[in-house]
Amino acid sequence: MMPGLAVLTDASADGFLLPLAIILPVAGILSAFVLGGRHAERIVLLLLVPGLGVAAAVFVAVWRGGRSLVYLVGGWEPPLGIALRADGISAAMMATVAVVICATALFARGEFAQPHGRPEARAPFVFWTLLLAIWTALNTIVLGDDLFNLYVALELLTFAAVPLVSLKGNAATLKAALRYLLFALFGSVLYLLGTVLIYSAYGTLDIVLLSGRVHPEPVAWIAAALMTMGLLAKTALFPLHLWLPPAHAGAPAPGSAVLSALVVKGSFFLIVRLWFDAMPGLMDLAAAQMLGTLGSGAILFGSILALRQQRLKLLIAYSTIAQIGYLFFIFPLALGAATSNPWSGFAWTGGWLQLFSHAFAKAAMFMAAGLIAETLGHDRIAQFGGIGRVLPITMFTFGLAGLSLMGVPPSGGFVAKVLLLRASIMEGQWWWAAAMLVGGLLAGGYVFMVLGKAFSSASASFKICAPVPRSREVLPLALALCAVLLGFVPLQPSNLLQIGRTAALTVASP
Amino acid sequence: MNAATLFGICGAALAGLGLFGLITNSEPLRKILAFNLLGTGTFLIFGVVARRGAAAGLGGDPVPQALVITGIVVAFSATAMAVVLLLRLFEESGKATLDPNEADGASTAEDDS
């Protein structure tokens, strides 16, 4: 092993936090099965505080220590054992996941409470256990340091996300869930095929060890292409996005929030891990340009289709497709030749900031859409007239989240898009800037389309189906404010996100 | 040509057939079967990799053998889940197809969302 890698592979004192982040939600799931469905909600609510605490502790430890946390499972070192590693991006991702999951759980209390005095319902139990399963799976994905372990985590995420789509159990949502599952299975088996090729060529699946062993040769290219293709299907990047809108729009509001804000980011995270950590130096600019082109396609296609939707939830789902597109500008811009370290440039920070701010904004938006649908009994945008007076806080939340999606200051989305724009000018790849600007205008179009309808005067057929308590409007607002607050991080490449890059060491100690 | 190469080619052919079937068939049940074919091809390649890594008096490299067991379990549960979804879809709608015309999701929105 190269001496420089020791920094990335030695177990750290705070390492015990990492398995804790994975075990806590699993313990919750198991105890929900033992204690019965009536306690599932209480168990989740009890776990929120320790779960958030562990994520915060990992974040602080990585931030303060300036190096990644490592835990060797069973004390076995890779390649024989499996390591868990939290670097800068995992720590930030874990914190985002914890905040969004907590907000979703608190929001879902009203929707998924067990009925009193009546037989136990199945949907609440399924929802609460799946929420914990998604939390576990995402924590395993961001902490995993072994490609096969990551495969298992990815499958765990799929198996937790698919039933969430079909929670209502009608034919349309079952169809959406089945289509989602088929896309996801296509993705996972391609990923597995890539994994076995990598093992056969390099004899290890540990990401840190692979970073020093992978060479640009046909087997590595084929493996990387297979794995990327599989992960793109799970991330729903255009043109593999067909499953996303019905799936995300068909799930109940808290489910849509988690699916759109977090679940699609899990597989995106792995693409970044693969290209920047496991195989640094393998990706050439042509492959990166292709990913960027697909990203631009997603922005234009998703935004235009969002503008044409009649239903609010479908509009938000198409907007997710568009916003995922921005993430893929990381590849051409961070790999550009102008900067020596891809992860120290504007594009790296901008891309991640886009991911985090979209997570908060989109979760807030789906929750707001849920409240609107609950109040009106439908989500047809054309009949929204008057809702602005009934749910002023929710419409304000929708607008705030929209600011971040459009990239208007002050918001996290604004800083992210400015950083990406600067990177595309600096790298001389102005065409991405054009796609981003058009995407921002289109996003403005669909956000104002909804707001305009909501604040127009009520039509004759306007009636309130079920009033929503003010307390439920607060949680989406808090999430939208998180997205805005991200806009106050300094406009420069963040140090936290650069912690623990494997390529830094392989370049330094060849 | 030794046995490992022969099995490797078989695995690659199975994976290719499965991939072709998964993309070209529109029937969900056929897609599930194609996924299993693709998975079987992949598992066979795992076996070949294990065999090629034989050393220290062992018949094969134990790591891919351990991985393939997990892979089979995951593929099995995925198949079970897909079949259950398909059966429920059949119960609800009387059809077991995914109509490509509804791919834009127009059919999924309903009033109680």
Number of domains in chain B: 1
Q: Is residue B66 part of a domain?
A: yes
Closest-CA residue to A418 (of A437, A402, A399) = A437
Residues of B in contact with A168 (CB under 8 A): 112
Say if residue A463 is exposed, middle or buried (CB neighbours under 10 Å; 0-12, 13-18, 19+).
exposed
Is residue A194 within 8 Å of residue A227, measured between CB atoms?
A: yes
The domain containing residue B48 runs over which residues?
A: 3-94
Task: Provide the residue count of chain B.
Answer: 113
Q: Is residue B38 part of a domain?
A: yes
The pLDDT assigned to A510 comes to 32
pLDDT-derived band at A503 (thresholds 50, 70, 90) equals low
- Cα separation, A368 vs A378, in Å, equals 13
Interface subset of A 235-274, CB within 8 angstroms of B = 242, 245-246, 249-250, 252
The pLDDT assigned to A506 comes to 44
Say what the pTM is: 0.90
A377 CA to chain B: closest CA distance, Å? 6
Q: Is residue B64 part of a domain?
A: yes
Instruction: Give the one of B64, B82, B111 whose C-beta lies nearest to A178's C-beta.
Output: B82
Is residue B39 within 8 Å of residue A189, measured between CB atoms?
A: yes
- The CATH number of residue B57's host domain is 1.10.287.3510
The pLDDT assigned to A505 comes to 47
Is residue A115 within 8 Å of residue A121, measured between CB atoms?
A: yes
B97-110 tens-digit pLDDT: 776 554 444 444 44
Q: Is residue B33 part of a domain?
A: yes
Residues of A in contact with B12 (CB under 8 A): none
For residue A278, which amino acid is it? A
- Cα separation, B24 vs B38, in Å, equals 14
A468-502 tens-digit pLDDT: 878 888 889 999 998 888 888 765 556 778 777 76
**Other beta carbons less than 10 A from residue A452's beta carbon:** 13
Q: Which of A150, A192, A199, A209 to mutate to test the interface with B (most CBs of B within 10 A)?
A: A192
Q: Is residue B102 part of a domain?
A: no
Closest-CA residue to A70 (of A144, A136, A147) = A144
Instruction: Give the one of B53, B63, B78 whose C-beta lies nearest to A185's C-beta.
Output: B78
Q: Is residue B105 part of a domain?
A: no
Q: Is residue B113 part of a domain?
A: no
ipTM, two decimals, is 0.88
Q: Is residue B65 part of a domain?
A: yes
